[in-house]
């Protein structure tokens, strides 16, 4: 731990790590949509995870002492294998949903994952639910719904139940993945490498069973390379580091920013305008993190006020 006087440094603070991560995540939807226009989901997953494995394979020998692995238990490897499984399932299910239902519909259903993170954190990481966390979740979810429907719930029509279930299962997978990763206390670089290796192995099986191996065009390779960097290499590192030094619930509250950041990228890249409803949604989403932080501060204050017996 690199804490100074019991306080987190800037490189450990979720208030620094998560905004950087969300800027990377904000580009994923647009890039994925472009790449999926010329490649199928199995090919995208294969190259995305394959690039991640290659990058980590170059970094690990330089940055890591392999002798550390000798002290690992079977349960440590099993935990990371489970993390790799759910990381793969998240990407696989989400891309499959994109192929069946409109992007807006898939995104809205997928943005349920912060709620699953908080809910799974209670039994898996012994985190407690309080009214501030609940209010933060409700505000983030309300903002997400408002953002995706523009205030008109009737405007969102569920077009394909299979696609809807896939998007929701992707959100469940990320909730499980997040809370499993939270349990991992081993070296982050080795852990990320092993998780990506498991996801790549599963992607390889899927590619050769349901698709075919084809080298992507240069532009498509650039898109897949960016997806690998933002979603796996840099994404995993920042996400794992944020989880190591903060609660899963706090990290989950930050993820409600994802649709808002994605919308900003769409506005900047496609020259679309924000509506009043978009602004209201942004206020709800942006306010959800301070609400949870306020609860933490007030909770800590109450503990200090309780007199000690004896």
Is 118 within the bounds of a domain? yes
Is 257 within the bounds of a domain? no
Is 200 within the bounds of a domain? yes
Check residue 81 and give its pLDDT: 95
Is 144 within the bounds of a domain? no
Separation of alpha carbons 163 and 100, rounded Å: 5
Domain span at residue 25 reads 14-125+159-247
Separation of alpha carbons 283 and 250, rounded Å: 18
Q: How many domains does the chain have?
A: 1
DSSP 307: P
Closest CA to 222 of 90, 47, 91: 47
Separation of alpha carbons 234 and 228, rounded Å: 8
234 bridge partner residues: none
Separation of alpha carbons 190 and 61, rounded Å: 10
Inter-CA distances, 78 with 57, 68, 191, 199, Å: 20, 16, 11, 14
Is 29 within the bounds of a domain? yes
Collapse the DSSP code of 4 into the 3-class scheme (helix H, G, I; strand E, B; otherwise coil) and give the result.
Answer: strand
pTM, rounded to two decimals: 0.74
Contact 45, 91 (CB under 8 A): yes
Is 268 within the bounds of a domain? no
Taking the CA atoms of the chain, what radius of gyration do you get in angstroms?
20
Structure tokens at 185: 């206390």
Contact 281, 49 (CB under 8 A): no
Check residue 164 and give its pLDDT: 81
pLDDT at 300 over 70: no
Check residue 105 and give its pLDDT: 65
Instruction: State the distance between the two ends of the chain, measured CA to CA, in whole angstroms.
Output: 34
| pLDDT tens per residue, range 5-17 | 456 666 666 677 7
Is 259 within the bounds of a domain? no
Check residue 149 and give its pLDDT: 67
Q: In the predicted model, what is the mean pLDDT of residues 267-283?
A: 63
Is 299 within the bounds of a domain? no
Helices (H), 211-233: 218-228
Q: In the predicted model, what is the mean pLDDT of residues 25-44?
A: 81
Collapse the DSSP code of 289 into the 3-class scheme (helix H, G, I; strand E, B; otherwise coil) and give the result.
Answer: helix
Separation of alpha carbons 183 and 190, rounded Å: 15
Check residue 305 and give its pLDDT: 45
Q: In the predicted model, what is the mean pLDDT of residues 93-100?
A: 84
């Amino acid at each position: 731990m690199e804490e100074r006087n019991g306080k987190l440094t800037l490189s450990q603070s979720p208030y620094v790590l998560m905004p950087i991560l969300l800027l990377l995540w904000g580009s994923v939807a647009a890039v994925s949509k472009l790449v999926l226009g010329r490649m199928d989901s199995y090919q995208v997953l294969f190259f995305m995870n394959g690039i991640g494995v290659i990058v980590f394979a170059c970094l690990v020998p330089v940055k890591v002492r392999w002798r550390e692995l000798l002290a690992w238990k079977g349960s440590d490897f099993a935990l990371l294998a489970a993390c790799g499984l759910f990381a793969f399932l998240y990407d696989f299910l989400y891309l499959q949903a994109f192929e069946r239902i409109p992007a807006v519909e898939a995104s809205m259903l997928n943005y349920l994952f912060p709620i699953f993170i908080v809910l799974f954190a209670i039994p898996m990481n012994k985190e407690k639910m309080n009214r501030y966390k609940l209010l933060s979740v409700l505000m983030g979810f309300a903002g997400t719904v408002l953002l995706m429907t523009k205030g008109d719930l009737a405007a969102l029509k569920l077009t394909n139940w299979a696609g809807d279930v896939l998007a929701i299962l992707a959100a469940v997978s990320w909730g499980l993945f997040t809370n499993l990763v939270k349990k991992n206390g081993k070296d982050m670089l080795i852990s990320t490498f092993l998780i990506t290796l498991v996801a790549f192995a599963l992607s390889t099986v899927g590619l050769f069973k349901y698709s075919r191996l084809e080298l992507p065009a240069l532009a498509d390779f650039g898109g897949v390379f960016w997806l690998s960097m933002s979603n796996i290499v840099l994404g995993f590192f920042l996400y794992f580091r944020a989880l190591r030094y903060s609660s899963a619930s706090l990290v989950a509250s930050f993820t409600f920013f994802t649709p808002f950041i994605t919308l900003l990228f769409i506005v900047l890249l496609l020259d679309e305008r924000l509506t009043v409803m978009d602004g209201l949604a942004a206020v709800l989403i942006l306010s959800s993190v301070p609400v949870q932080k306020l609860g933490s501060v007030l909770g800590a204050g109450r503990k200090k006020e309780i007199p000690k017996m004896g």
